[in-house]
Amino acid sequence: QVQPVESGGGLVQSGGSLTLTCAADSALFSIKTWAWYRQFPEKSREQVARITPGGIETYDDSVKGRFTIARDNAKRTMTLEMNKLKPEDTAVYFCNRILNQWPWGQGTQVTVSS
C-alpha cells in the first residue's frame, strides 16, 4: 500500500535548523494539497504547514516565520525547512495529503535540545 516516506529528522540544539523531506510516489501528487503534521507524545497529530498544487503556503502560528514548506511536483517530493528550532518543536513529523489521506508513514523524529 502506498505511503508517504518522511526523512531528515534528527537531534539539533535550540536555534538550529533541519530540513525534512517527504517522498510521495503518486501520479496525482502534483494536483493535491499536501501538508506536514507533527505529533507530540500522547497527543493527536496537528497540521504544521500545507501547500497547494499551485504553491500557496499556509502555516500554523507556532511555526510562522521559522518554517518554510516547498514542493517539487516533478520529483513528487515536499520539504519542510525548519529554522530557529525550539525545544517545543520536538515531535514526530509526518506528511500526507489533506484530503483522502494515505495510510500514515513512519514519520521522522525531530528532537530539539535546550
Average pLDDT over residues 30-53: 96
Q: Tell me how far CA of residue 105 lies from CA of 23, 30, 64, in angstroms.
A: 10, 19, 25
Quick one: residue 10, left, alpha or beta (phi over 0 = left, psi -120 to 50 = alpha)? left
Q: How far is CA 5 from the centre of its chain?
A: 11
**With bands split at pLDDT 50, 70 and 90, how would you rate the model's confidence at 2?**
confident
> Dihedral sign, CA of 84, 101, 106, 40?
positive
Contact 35, 24 (CB under 8 A): no
The confidence score (pLDDT) of residue 17 equals 98
Residues 94-114 pLDDT 10s: 999 999 999 999 999 999 999
Residues 66-103 pLDDT 10s: 999 999 999 999 999 999 999 999 999 999 999 999 99
Residues 10-20 pLDDT 10s: 999 999 999 99
**With bands split at pLDDT 50, 70 and 90, how would you rate the model's confidence at 1?**
low
